[in-house]
């Protein structure tokens, strides 16, 4: 994927070790609140890293990593498989891409950053023949109380198809589909507290697990999220591809 520019932001593939370290520093700041530190794990060495930078200052403002899997038979190699029992997805026949460690600099509030990030992901998906995108979508913090309407909306509208159903594997989870079965979500509150990345997944027809993993190491609640590329609404595909041009 060559460099992609949209307004003041540009996206590119990490090309050197110092690029990956910059992403690890941003992740440590965004997820762990560390001003000086690195968030790294063994998956960094097998993933492609995408960087979104402010072209005026060269500052890194967003990053994420991508792991390509040949098909569902490789699902156990994914980061997500540490937390979710994903054997149902082993039957998926097409190429898959796991999108992980997505973050935006906490002090930057510009929706164009997310647009550029998704434009880069769209181009990557098209260039690599990806048929399913998946990953862990994170809510900040490990307490569910502030997100109950969001979780209730996920339960009501966006649970995974039974054929791909992610099952519980992690020792600490919030089984929101069961706990909130009688709760009617306030849709405005639900969308206000929905993480921007997950909101975009849902607009593409994405679906989630019926439980959230309580990840104290990363200080997040996260849900497994999948998007079948062939099922993305045509209008949404046209919009994403227009951004990726």
Please name which of 193, 152, 195 lies closest in space to residue 175, comparing C-alpha atoms.
152
pTM, whole model, 2 decimals?
0.95
Burial of 191 (0-12, 13-18, 19+ CB in 10 A): middle
Please name which of 206, 241, 215, 229 lies closest in space to residue 92, comparing C-alpha atoms.
229
Mean pLDDT of 220-245: 92
Q: What is the pLDDT of residue 1?
A: 53
Domains in the chain and their CATH numbers? 4-244 (3.40.630.30)
* Per-residue pLDDT reduced to its tens digit, 141-200: 999 999 999 999 999 999 999 999 999 999 999 999 999 999 999 999 999 999 999 999
* Per-residue pLDDT reduced to its tens digit, 189-227: 999 999 999 999 999 999 999 999 999 999 999 999 999
- Residue 7 in this model has a pLDDT that exceeds 90: no
Q: What is the pLDDT of residue 25?
A: 98
* Per-residue pLDDT reduced to its tens digit, 68-92: 999 999 999 999 999 999 999 999 9
């Amino acid at each position: 994927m060559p460099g992609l520019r949209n307004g003041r932001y540009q996206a590119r593939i990490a090309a050197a070790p110092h690029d990956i370290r910059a992403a690890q520093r941003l992740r440590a700041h965004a997820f762990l609140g560390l001003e000086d530190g690195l968030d790294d794990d063994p998956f960094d060495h097998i993933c492609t890293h995408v960087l979104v930078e402010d072209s005026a200052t060269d500052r890194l403002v967003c990053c994420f990593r991508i792991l390509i899997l040949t098909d569902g038979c490789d699902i156990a190699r994914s980061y997500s498989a540490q937390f979710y029992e994903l054997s149902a997805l082993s039957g998926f026949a097409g190429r898959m891409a796991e999108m992980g460690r997505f973050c935006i600099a906490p002090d930057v509030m510009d929706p164009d950053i997310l647009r550029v990030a998704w434009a880069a992901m769209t181009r990557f998906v098209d260039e690599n023949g990806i048929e399913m995108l998946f990953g862990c979508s994170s809510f900040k913090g490990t307490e569910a109380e502030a997100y109950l309407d969001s979780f209730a909306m996920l339960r009501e509208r966006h649970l995974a198809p039974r054929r791909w159903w992610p099952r519980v594997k992690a020792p600490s989870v919030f089984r929101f589909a069961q706990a909130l079965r009688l709760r009617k979500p306030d849709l405005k509150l639900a969308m206000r507290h929905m993480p921007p990345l997950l909101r975009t997944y849902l607009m593409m027809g994405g679906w989630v697990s019926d439980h959230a993993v309580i990840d104290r190491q990363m200080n997040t609640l996260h849900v497994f999220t999948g998007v079948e590329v062939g099922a993305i609404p045509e209008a949404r595909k046209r919009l994403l591809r227009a951004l990726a041009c």
